[in-house]
Structure 1
């Protein structure tokens, strides 16, 4: 119990301090999740030994913590832009979901083989690593510096993709799990996966529409006070997540669908205060999860991988997404520098933690599975935490007109 209270204290103090310098943090090559991860490593059993979580507690905290955080984060992604702008990014998002995400799973899974894992287990790791994380992606594409430096279409594409693919990665993970843990017939498994996806769309769509109608009515009758208005979409996310899981569907995808429907039906001035809270939640609520991840990182298993661990990390960071997006730049209708930014910034984080914990909850017990997947997630948090601000600034400079050339042509 003391360790749990100490965790509250450390994470709360960290969140308070980084909130005080939140504007300055936007310009530093150091993200809030990376700070939380580092603090967790420092407090964990391999450094100061202040916090040590047994495996059952680790698995439960990672599963339920990541489930709630990802759900609230994808709600924020659904609300970040007006629904009327969705048509502008429909084509690139569809290509990213239908082509880039499955290839990311294949490339990541193939890279895992360098660690010596069996093919089936490597495929499961690859499936867990394929979605773009909405928490880390949100910190890259939101806020005034991002609005100033990045085109809206790039930011909107990453937001929508990260919101949808967190749910659509479930079929890939489920197929890989069926190979690793063959327990049911292929037909029954296919039916279950189909219900998880389409059932979540039905539940999320209905909940989003009902919530929007209720808000319209409450606003019209002046029954909605400012304070509860701030947290409406957070409450909606939690409700859809719970209903979706109770109905054995993909609750995270359902939350994104609910947020998108709600976005399309509620006026912008009514959503504005909710967007501010969603951004704050997306930026700071995730810190306990990444702190816990830092505490439980399996350093001994990583060391057992040897030099192959470095090869694995480099292969995934370089090949998982960037070359595919660059090759598809023309169909995506992005210029080369936009494709480079979009291809590099596809971070792995809370959503991958969720699928890892989900897989272990389903019965995957091989310690190398958690070791390989957590190694890549930690490397992703480090790589994208360090490069997000410089990458955004570099993009802005590359997009600026060459004043020297302009004057020479006058």
Structure 2
């Protein structure tokens, strides 16, 4: 009977979301908010169908959030259809490097001097909360591969890059807590966890994305083989890039993003910088799929678009699953008192300061800077890093208070950013159109 109820609840939730999708785009609501509310209704203070303990189930949570982030990162790479030499890349690069480092530093300082944490725990907290989320930020990301709006491109690139760029600081925090070897004077951390792991992750993704993409295109255009099952191509490339990067001691998140970027780069170079053919964008799943997939001129665009469409569908399912479970953990009894002042500080002071400093000298309008400063969405990536630390022997005495704070930050971010995304993005679109 319990299983039947779950099938009924999940089926009803998905049907409601499908029917209400167009309505949500007109209201100050997001899908994540509804998933969160549904999870809370099913949790201990509601129907009692969900009983989640993130510490006891940290291994399962790590795997679930890991998969959700990987799919979203691959989709983000496919969405960013801009040459790497284009100056537009400076915006996400600054946000994912300088702004993120500033965020880690400021959160760590607040953790030490405002919460009484050790430097190791404070740096770890900063690393967990510094990256913006590639899954929950879909409402402010690029809307299609040819979208080059600075705001949406910057937020999409930042969320994709800083999920991997935060890893060195997670390892630094664990090292300061004695849970990871840093080497004398931190040499091993700098050489391995920063330089090698970042380079190996990006390099692995670029090489595998390029090789697999070119192999598929060769088989399709020359031999009319390897046609169809582009969903398997996307999943296979995600698995190959992530697994190979981990074996090489690189950051798999960066590898998967780079693989998606490499696949899109093949299409961009084949198109000579021109927009992809309209018939490919609208007919990737039509009866003409095989004809498009084997056409030497349209095959690159078809391959990239088909992979993107599939991963975006998986991304929505992953968002629903994780946020629903997250809602099941919401409890007033677990609300940390320091969250009452720390969350406003993080969202209204630390994030804006980090963004404005990181974008000094960058080509962005005042309105774009304000929007980027506000939409520092925290979400599934932070939950992954939290459970990753738990799986690396973070003591329960530190894990539970940190989990309570991190999960509260994520829940508040889902609500406040979900309420504001529709009116703010609509206002931004109107102003951009007028200009």
Normalized per residue, which structure has more helix?
A: 1
Q: 2 CA distance for matches of 1:299 and 1:15? A: 27
* TM-score after normalising by structure 2: 0.82
Superposition RMSD in Å:
2.7
Q: Shift in Å at residue 328 of structure 1?
A: 5.0
* Count of aligned pairs between the two proteins: 394
Alignment of 1:162-173 (within 5 A): 162-173=159-170
Task: Look up the match of 2:242.
Answer: 241
Change (3 A) 1:55 1:130: closer
Residue 100 of structure 1 corresponds to: 99
Post-superposition Cα deviations, 1:161-220, rounded to whole Å, max 9, x if no partner, equal: 211111111001111111123553524444441443222223212211221112212321
Confirm or deny that 1:389 pairs with 2:389: no
- Post-superposition offset of 1:70: 0.5
1:280 and 2:313 are equivalent in the alignment: yes
Deviation at 1:51, TM superposition (A): 1.6
Q: Deviations over 1:223-261 (max 9, x none)?
A: 2334x1245223311332233334443211110111111
Q: What TM-score comes out, normalization by structure 1 length? A: 0.87
**Is the Cα contact below 8 Å between 1:201 and 1:257 reproduced in 2?**
yes
Q: Which runs of 5+ in 2 are unaligned?
A: 268-299
1:43 CA displacement: 1.0
Residue 9 of structure 2 is matched in structure 1 by 10
Alignment of 1:359 onto 2:360: no
Contact kept? 2:347, 2:376, Cα under 8 Å: no
Cα distance in 2 for partners of 1:122, 1:141 equals: 30
Contact persistence 2:123–2:172 (CA under 8 A): no
Aligned to 2:52: 53
Q: For 1:139 and 1:63, how far apart are their aligned partners in 2?
A: 24
Q: What's 2:347 paired with?
A: 317
Unaligned runs of 5+ in 1: 403-410
1:349 has 2:379 as partner: yes
Matching residue of 1:368 = 401
The answer to which of 272-281 and 61-70 deviates more is: 272-281
CA 1:81–1:191 in 2, change beyond 3 Å: closer, same or farther? Answer: closer
With over 3 angstroms needed to count, the CA separation of the structure-2 counterparts of 1:214 and 1:17, relative to structure 1, is: farther
Partner of 2:361: helix, strand, or coil? Answer: helix
Secondary structure of the residue aligned to 1:286 is helix
Q: Is the 8 A contact 2:99 2:358 kept in 1?
A: no
Distance 1:44 1:24, change over 3 A: same
**Larger deviation, residues 383-392 vs 184-193:** 184-193
**Residues 111 and 315 of structure 1 are in contact (CA less than 8 Å); yes or no, is this contact kept in structure 2?**
no
**Aligned pair in 2 of structure 1 residues 169, 11: CA closer, same or farther (>3 Å)?**
farther
